[in-house]
Homo-oligomer: A and B are copies of this chain.
Amino acid sequence: MEKPYVIGIDIGGTNTVFGVVDARGTILHSGSIKTGTHEDVNDYITLLANGLKEVIEQAGGPGNIKGIGVGAPNGNYFNGCIEFAPNLPWKGKIPLAQLISDKTYNIPVSLTNDANAAAIGEMTYGAARGLKDFIEITLGTGVGSGIVIGGVLVYGHDGFAGELGHVIMRQDGRLCGCGRHGCLEAYASATGVARTAREVLTNRTEKSLLRDLNPELITSKDVYDAAVKGDMLAIEIFEFTGKILGEALANFVAFSSPEAIILFGGLTKSGDLILNPVKRSMEDNMLKVFQGKTKLLVSQLKESDAAVLGASALGWEVKEG
């Protein structure tokens, strides 16, 4: 009989969250541990394996678990390693998939980065069910992407394909965390929106609710709250963000001509305030042959569960040992 469950593990800089998931995308049992406090990766793995064993027990034992999927920053699907992840405490190349499997009943473990995991999760449980060609764009602290072509996630020759947050949208534009200038991420991430807010408040003289806040502490949520109240500068900040993101999406369509682009993450909570400008800019910048054909959708993965669900979806794809 087919094993009924998989496990998803989402490794973030602060917390590692995991859960047992069924075929319909319901998280049955879950747990979490701290990530950043374990300088030695072996201590971390021991603690993680103990947590996993607890939820596996609750799910009826290892015989019920088909596979374990891990979403982690800089995770390489091909070799199961985390490679030089700037926000994790372990340096160099860590064979994480192997380490986890060794301490968890040798259940097969598959690993990729968080945005790829989100795309697979979307295809398995979310807005991309039934789609063969789509691009998932994750709009969080950074901007990530997972590209699916013909029903298969694109990993590229080295496992690192789909870094669409780092296409350069503006020559000599904003400095990005990656050290280069003008990346999409420097504009369309939550921090990019906050940065646009500070620029607009400095360069313009109009009144704005945002002027009541400490500019250094403004968040994209603050911009949303102001925009909802009709604040013109806040609305303009979303327009600017949407314009650049839409330009980028039009270029992505010229690449793989997907049936849909699916936006995921905090920024999508701003709804039409951000979606309308994105959609307009995407269509305006699109080559004629593509116009009106690519749907712009919002993720259907519940955000609190999405990271674990996305990672878990990889668990269905493992080759059983």
Task: Report A's interface with B, CB cutoff 8 A.
Answer: 74, 83, 132-133, 147, 149-150, 152, 154-164, 166-168, 170-171, 178-180, 247, 250-252, 254-259, 285, 287-290, 293
Contact = CB atoms under 8 A, between A and B. Distances in A.
Contacts of A166: 254, 287
A47 B288 CA distance: 33
Given A147-B256, A162-B254, A171-B247, 9 more contacts: A83-B289, A154-B255, A157-B258, A158-B257, A162-B257, A163-B257, A163-B290, A178-B288, A255-B256
Q: What is the count of identical protomers in the complex?
A: 2
A65 to B, nearest CB: 28
A147 B171 CA distance: 25
Contacts of A154: 149, 255-256
A161 to B, nearest CB: 4
A87 to B, nearest CB: 15
Contacts of A156: 133, 149, 256-258
A232 to B, nearest CB: 23
A199 to B, nearest CB: 17
B251 A161 contact: no
A149 B74 CA distance: 21
B287 A162 contact: no
**Chain A interface mostly:** loop
Contacts of A258: 156-157
B178 A250 contact: no
A151 to B, nearest CB: 11
Nearest to A255: B255
A168 B288 contact: no
Nearest to A132: B157
A-B pairs, top 3 by smallest CB distance, nearest first, are: A156-B257, A161-B257, A157-B259
A178 B286 CA distance: 10
Nearest to A76: B289
Contacts of A162: 254-257
Nearest to A285: B168
A180 B255 contact: no
A35 to B, nearest CB: 21
27 contacts: A83-B289, A132-B157, A133-B156, A133-B157, A149-B154, A149-B156, A150-B152, A156-B257, A156-B258, A157-B257, A157-B258, A157-B259, A158-B293, A159-B257, A160-B289, A161-B257, A163-B287, A163-B289, A163-B290, A164-B254, A164-B255, A167-B254, A167-B255, A168-B251, A171-B247, A180-B287, A255-B255
- For A166, A252, A254, which residue has the most chain B Cβ atoms within 10 angstroms? A254
Contacts of A178: 287-288
B160 A290 contact: yes
Contacts of A155: 257
A257 B145 CA distance: 13
